[in-house]
Structure 1
Amino acid sequence: MLTTAIFPSRYVQGRGALAQLGEELARFGGSSLALLDPFADDNLGAQLDASASERIDFHRVRFTGECCDEEIARLVDLAEARRPDSIVGIGGGKALDTAKALAHELGLPVAVVPTLASTDAPCSALSVIYTAEGAFKRYLVLPRNPDLVLVDSQVIAQAPARFLVAGMGDAMATWFEAEDCRIRGAANMTGRPGPRTAFALARLCYDTLLEYGPLALQACRQQVVTPALEHIIEANTLLSGLGFESGGLAAAHAIHNGFTALPETHAYWHGEKVAFGVLSMLMLRDSAPAQIDEVYDFCIAIGLPVTLADIGLHDVDDAYLLRAAELACAVGESIHNEPFPVDALTVLGAMRTADAEGRRRKALVAAAVH
């Protein structure tokens, strides 16, 4: 069997890594166009100008907020006027995906600097393209992974802890989806099955979350960097990125994509919706009760969603929720990588069961507190 794994060219992580950005970008040439989301522009822009500009011509552009075709076209026009040697994306997942798509359009190297450990987007050769209104539109599969991923752990620690938790929700899906792809022999993001390395990394990602997740959350709440936080940043960013991309996606992300069509979920982060997708997937795949217990306990311990209400879907009827289930089962969606047939009504049933179980467990926790 022919298998394929793909990786970013260079990964840098640690406290103070941001100070090395200019040195790292100089490897690509003398100038860089940097796309910063509003938070990064407002809080890190002056620091980046001071450090990066010592080594290269560093020009900042502010991201408008959505990774959509319209924003990519706007940035292509700006970049063509400046003719940089590289593109760098700095901020959250959508800014990074936009930078990757922009670099692809221009045929330039791309550096990725996440300010959050909220998704596994930074390392991947993939941009998720949305409509201008924020609904999922398509995956843009890129010909290569980022040339540089640079993560400053102190910047991650200063972000609200909710982002780190959302990243753990996204990362939690990695092993379950990769494992089902392995069983099925399904293709990963390259169009071929992944090697053993990918599945081992996916499992390491899951084990790291369970071992260090609660401790990392406490460190992030204190805005300090500890070894546990470093481990979870690596799991959310590198291990999850390598695991999903070279292992494969399945039901959890497809269910997330279905939820994006429901406006009530738009206030919730990618990883929060993926987490509920994992719980639905556990019901869909007939997981062992002990494994279901483990995942629910972890989600409740760190504050990930375990009910539909936790992602904004209060008292929705079956007809409305079926819209998300139908989109999750659309032709070409990753849910069809599951090693069994899937249809929208089955997914609806899994969502309802996951929600009911989440409500039961939350009630038990509330009763124990009182």
Structure 2
Amino acid sequence: MDNIIISPSKYVQGANVMANLATYLKPLGEHALVIADAFVTHLVEKAVNASCQQQLVEAYFTEFQGECCITEIDRITEHAKAQHATVIVGIGGGKTLDTAKATAANLSLPVAIVPTIASTDAPTSALSVIYTPQGEFSEYRFYAHNPNVVIMDTQVVANAPTRLLVSGMGDALSTYFEARANQRSGKATMAGGAPTRAAQTLAKLCYEILLSDGLKAKLACDHNLASQALNNVVEANTYLSGVGFESSGLAAAHAIHNGLTLMEECHHLYHGEKVAFGTLSQLALENAPLDEIRTVIGFCRSVGLPTNLNDMGVTNIDRAKLLQVAQASCAEGETMHNMPFEVTPEAVLAAMLTAHELGSAVI
């Protein structure tokens, strides 16, 4: 198996880089279809239009309706055709960005990804997570190449609700542990080969930054400050986690997240909040050292990530419903099968209940 690492062609990060957006768009195309929801459009439209006017780039906004599903992707694809777009721009959260990537792939156009939050590692990847219109996980859709450019305005991130940054930490938290499991199993990564040492190093650095700077970044975001700690965590949440997961592999944590989308009680949670519990469950599944589990629980508590089912809104611990989650996490094609041992739904159920108890206790 070949060793493969993939990444976006360009990654740009800094405070107030939104003002220079068109500088990075113009080499890709001069007719930009900008995908953003109503709130984000109100937030960035003036700055985007000003930048595009300076660079003689035409920008057309289209409103994202809230779910990265086939009907929404098809609708925006038709709009892009009607506007004769030559570059697709996604501005907003993970589902907006995944929809932009899918639209660009449908039309074989370049894509610029501009997150307004650092809540997932979706921006840098050559894939989209597709959901049903009701918000349940459907499939991963893979693309021939990563985004042409990813632009992270850390002041915009700092101005967003702190919970979104913390959710990104939850998503990034899984990167090292899933990379480690994938390396042990020898399974192919999302990049289609064996992990490189570089990708594994990025995954580990991602975890180290979260432990060292996560709480400080949260406190800075509470005050809308783009501090050095926040800058470091934005890079960890976005670039290190993005390249780390895609080129080092996913495993149990994300499979359990996908299973949790079946539970109505968890629908109010952000992606990374569910992944954080999935990470704890993966560590229980692996029978990881208790000291390691303590460290992860302590980090989650310090920044406000859930460590048990009650934290996620599951007040009634119904084993039958949790077994359905476990069964979904072990479905054919799920990343659960990248674990370095055979996993059964019953083992996942035991791991989730163990994680719940450990995450509820003072250990």
Q: Please say whether Structure 1 and Structure 2 have the same fold, judged by a TM-score greater than 0.5.
A: yes
2:195 & 2:51 partners in 1: Cα distance?
Answer: 39
Aligned to 1:26: 26
Structure 2 letter corresponding to 1:343: T
Letter in 2 for 1:99: A
In 1, distance between residues paired with 2:53 and 2:263?
Answer: 43
Q: CA deviation at 1:54?
A: 2.4
- State the match for 1:53 in structure 2: 53
Question: Over residues 294-319 of structure 1, what are the superposed CA-to-partner deviations in whole Å (9 max), with x where a residue is unaligned?
Answer: 10110011110001121221113100
Aligned-partner SS, 2:32: strand
Alpha-carbon deviations, 1:206-255, whole Å to 9, x = none? 00100110111110001011110000000000000000000000000000
Aligned residues: 362
2:173 is aligned with 1:183: no
Tell me what 2:356 maps to. Answer: 355
Query: Deviation string for 1:91-149 (max 9, x for gaps)?
Result: 00000000000000000000000000000000000100000010000000111000000
Q: Structure 1 residue 204: deviation in Å?
A: 0.5
Q: Please list the CA deviations of residues 23-58 of structure 1 after superposition, one character each: whole Å capped at 9, or x if unmatched.
A: 110011211100012221121112211222322001
Opposite residue 36 of structure 1, the aligned amino acid is A
Q: Flag as ranges the 4+ runs of structure 1 deviating above 6 A.
A: none
Runs of 5+ in structure 1 lacking a partner? 365-370
Matched, 1:219 2:190: no
Are 1:9 and 2:9 counterparts?
Answer: yes
TM-score by length of 1: 0.96
Cα offset for 1:192? 1.3
SS in 1 for 2:144: coil
Partner of 1:162: 163
Aligned to 1:292: 293
Q: Distance in 1 between matches of 2:89 and 2:113?
A: 6
Q: What 5-or-longer segments of structure 2 have no aligned partner?
A: none
Q: Distance in 1 between matches of 2:20 and 2:246?
A: 27
C-alpha distance in 2, partners of 1:283/1:172?
15
Shift of the alpha carbon at 1:290?
1.0
Question: Who is 2:120 aligned against?
Answer: 119
Query: Aligned partner of 1:253: which letter?
Result: H
Residues 2-151 of structure 1 aligned to structure 2 (within 5 Å)? 2-55=2-55, 56-151=57-152
* Distance in structure 2 (CA, Å) of the matches to 1:338 and 1:29: 42
Tell me the equivalent position of 1:367. none
- Rounded to whole Å, the distance in 2 between the matches of 1:54 and 1:68 is 34
Q: Which moved more, 1:240-249 or 1:185-194?
A: 185-194
> Structure 1 residue 69: deviation in Å?
0.1
User: Is the contact made by 1:37 and 1:92 (CA closer than 8 Å) also made in structure 2?
Assistant: no
CA distance in 2 between partners of 1:311 and 1:109 (Å): 38
- Is residue 39–residue 91 contact of structure 1 (8 Å, CA) maintained in 2? no
Paired residue secondary structure (1:53): helix
- Tell me if 1:230 matches 2:222: no
DSSP-derived class of the 1:28 partner: coil
1:277-334 CA-partner distances (Å, limit 9, x unpaired): 0000110001011101110110011110001121221113100111111000001110
Matches of 1:39 and 1:269, distance apart in 2: 18
Show the counterpart of 2:273: 272
- 1:49 is matched by which residue type in structure 2? N
Which residue identity lines up with residue 32 of structure 2 in the other structure?
Answer: S
Distance in 2 between the 1:239 and 1:190 partners? 15
Percent identity over the alignment is 48
SS of equivalent to 1:341: coil
Could you tell me how far apart the structure 2 residues matched to 1:216 and 1:92 are? 19
CA RMSD of aligned residues (A): 0.9
Residue 42 of structure 1 aligns with an amino acid whose one-letter code is H
